[in-house]
Amino acid sequence: METDQSLLHSEQDSLIDRRPAVAGSFYPGNKDELLKELQVYYTHAVPGQKYKHIVAIIAPHAGYVFSGQVAASAYNQLDTGFRYKNIFVIGSSHHASYDGASIYTEGNFITPLGTAKVNLFLAKELVARYPKVFHDYPDVQRPEHSLEVQLPFLQYHYKDQFTFVPILLGTQNVESCKQIAEALKPYLDGDNLFVISTDFSHYPDYEDACRTDKITAQAIEENSVSAFLEVLKSNERKGTDNLLTSICGWTSMLSFLYMTQNNPQVHFHLIQYMNSGDTPYGDKQRVVGYNGMVVTLDSRAESNTQKNKDEAFSLSQDDKEKLLELARITIKTYLETGKVPSIEESSMPAELRVKAGAFVTLRENKELRGCIGRFTSEEPLYQVVQDMAIASSTRDTRFDPLTLKELPKITIEISVLTPMRKIESINEIQLGRHGIYIKKGMRGGTFLPQVARETGWTLEEFLGHCAQDKAGLGWDGWKDADIYVYEAYAFAEGD
C-alpha cells in the first residue's frame, strides 16, 4: 500500500485536472459571487433535522438559480463535524452512451472554490478490479455537468476536508446498473457518503410536474427496485403532455436502489421538493422538478436487539381498533385535503408509540386494492400506520389511487411487526409465527411469518430461500450470518 501511494504521489506532476465546464453558466464562475450565492441558498434551506447515520443524499444538478435551494436543503442535513472516508458522486451522462460507468482517474476537479480532490488510488483500483463495469473515459467527463455542480456544495460544506470518486454512468441497461451496485455496495458501510445527482420530471406543466415528482419520490422511498421501475413505466403510460422523463438520472438512482433494497435498516427521507416554476426564473408551463432527499442507515438496530429481546410486545383490542380508525381517518382526510391529520402523541397509548414497522392492506370485496409497509421505523407505530395508510391508498403502483367514492367499500387490514431480536440458535424460530431477517455485512433479506405458512417450507427451506433469494448470500449463507426474528400482529376491520 505504501509503494502504491508513493507511486501515486510521484505522478502528481503528470496529472490532468478536470477543468470546470459549466462555471459561469450553471453557477457563478467567480469565487466571491459563488460563495455569496451558496450562502443565500443555505440561508433559505431546510434546517438540519439531525438525521443520524446519513449514507447518501439525492440532490439536483440544474442551474443553481433553479435548483440551488433544494440542493442546499439536502446538503444541509449533513453533519459538518463528521468526516466521511470517501464521497462517491454518481450521475448519469447527458452527452455520451457507453457500457457501465466512467471514473475519472487523471487528476482532480477544479471549481471556482479551488481543488476538489479525487481519491485517485481508489478510482484506479475500482477501474482495475472491475474492468467490465468501470472504465477510464476522461473525454466523457469533461463536458458533463451532473457531477461538477455537486462539488461547490461539498466544498462550501466541508471546505477541502474531503476526497471523492467521480462516477459517470453511460449505460441505459438495467443489468449494468445491478453490476455497478454490486461493485459499490461494500462501501455502503456508514463511513462513506453517496451523492446521487439527478433532476426529476422534465418539461411538463407545473401541476403535472408536482404530481409526477411526488409519485416518483414515493417509489424511491419504498426502497424497491421493482417499485421504482414500475412507477417509471406507469408515468410513461399516462402520456402526460411534454413529459420527457420522470427522472433524468434514473440509472444512477436504480444502481443505488440495487445497493439498498431488502435492507430494512435503510430509510429514505424527503427533505424538500420544488420545481423550476417555483423560482423567479422559470415559468409554469414547462418545468423541471427537483427532489432533495437523504438516506440513513439505522445502525442502532443491532444494538437495540438485545434490549428488545426480553421485552414483550402486544396490542389490546382497543389498540387495534384505534389504529384501524386512525388509518381510515387518515386516508379520508388525505383524499379530501391532501394533508395528514395531526395527532397529539400524548393521546396515543404507550404501545402505539413504540418504534415498529407495519403494513397497511386495503381490500375491496375481498380483492387486494393496495398494500404497502415498512419493516422497521424510527417513527412511532401510529405515525407509521398513517404513512402506510396513505401509501397503500395512493402510491401502490399496481392500482390507481383510491378515490373518496371508493373508500366506503374498502376494508382496512393492519399488520404490526414487533421489534426484531437477534437469535442465538435457529431452534428459536417458530415457523408460521416468526418472520426472519438474515444479515451479513451490508447484505440482508427478510420473509414475513406468513411465507412459511403459505409455502409449507421446512425450517431449512425457509432459511435457505431467504438467504439465497432475498439476501443474495447463497443457499447456506444463513449459517454464518446474523439472524433476527419478529412477529406480525394482523387485524382487520370487522374481525
pLDDT digits (tens, 9 = 90+) for 213-259: 999 999 999 899 999 999 999 999 999 999 999 999 999 999 999 99
Tell me, which fold does domain 423-490 have in CATH?
Answer: Dna Ligase; domain 1 (3.30.1490)
Average pLDDT over every residue of 134-146: 96
Domain 308-419 grouped into CATH 3.30.700.20: yes
Distance CA 281, CA 300 (A): 44
Distance CA 207, CA 338 (A): 14
Nearest Cα to Cα of residue 246 among 397, 449, 465: 397
CATH number for the domain running over 2-298: 3.40.830.10
Q: How would DSSP label each residue in 300-333?
A: HHHHHHHHHHT------HHHHHHHHHHHHHHHHH
Sequence-distant (6+) residues with CB within 8 A of 28 are 34, 37, 64, 112
Nearest Cα to Cα of residue 369 among 395, 330, 333: 395
Average pLDDT over every residue of 115-133: 95
Residue-level pLDDT at 51: 87
Q: Is the pLDDT score of 6 beyond 80?
A: no
Tens digit of pLDDT for each residue in 342-379? 888 888 888 898 888 888 999 999 898 998 888 766 78
Q: Is the pLDDT score of 495 beyond 90?
A: no
pLDDT tier, 313 (very low <50, low <70, confident <90, very high otherwise): low
Lowest mean pLDDT among 118-132, 139-153, 438-452: 438-452
Sequence-distant (6+) residues with CB within 8 A of 244 are 202, 203
Average pLDDT over every residue of 292-298: 93
Residue-level pLDDT at 2: 37
Average pLDDT over every residue of 193-198: 98
Q: What is the average pLDDT score of the chain?
A: 89
Residue-level pLDDT at 417: 87
Element holding 88 (H helix, E strand): strand 87-92
Between 340 and 50, the more confident residue is: 340
Average pLDDT over every residue of 60-65: 97
Residue-level pLDDT at 312: 52
Average pLDDT over every residue of 102-122: 96
Tell me the three state secondary structure of residue 420. coil
Lowest mean pLDDT among 5-14, 133-142, 315-324: 5-14
Distance CA 290, CA 246 (A): 11
Between 115 and 366, the more confident residue is: 115
Whole-Å CA distances, 144 to 20, 168, 190, 222 = 9, 9, 28, 30
Angle (deg, nearest 10), helices 2-10 and 120-129: 110
pLDDT tier, 276 (very low <50, low <70, confident <90, very high otherwise): very high
pLDDT tier, 305 (very low <50, low <70, confident <90, very high otherwise): very low
pLDDT tier, 299 (very low <50, low <70, confident <90, very high otherwise): low
Lowest mean pLDDT among 237-241, 447-451, 462-466: 447-451
pLDDT tier, 304 (very low <50, low <70, confident <90, very high otherwise): very low
Domain assignments of the chain as residue spans, ordered by start: 2-298, 308-419, 423-490
- Sign, CA dihedral 72-134-55-274, equals positive
Residue-level pLDDT at 308: 42
Residue-level pLDDT at 262: 79
CA angle 193, 196, 197 (to 5 degrees): 135
Average pLDDT over every residue of 310-331: 84
What percentage of the chain reaches a pLDDT higher than 70?
Answer: 94
Residue-level pLDDT at 452: 85
Q: Cell numbers of 145, please? A: 455537468
Residue-level pLDDT at 9: 45
What φ, ψ does residue 81 adopt, rounded to 5°?
A: -85, -10
Tens digit of pLDDT for each residue in 406-433? 999 999 999 898 777 889 889 889 888 8
Q: Is the pLDDT score of 209 beyond 50?
A: yes
Sequence-distant (6+) residues with CB within 8 A of 216 are 200, 201, 231, 232, 235, 246, 247, 291
CA angle 185, 289, 371 (to 5 degrees): 60
What percentage of the chain reaches a pLDDT higher than 90?
Answer: 68
Average pLDDT over every residue of 299-312: 41
Residue-level pLDDT at 419: 72
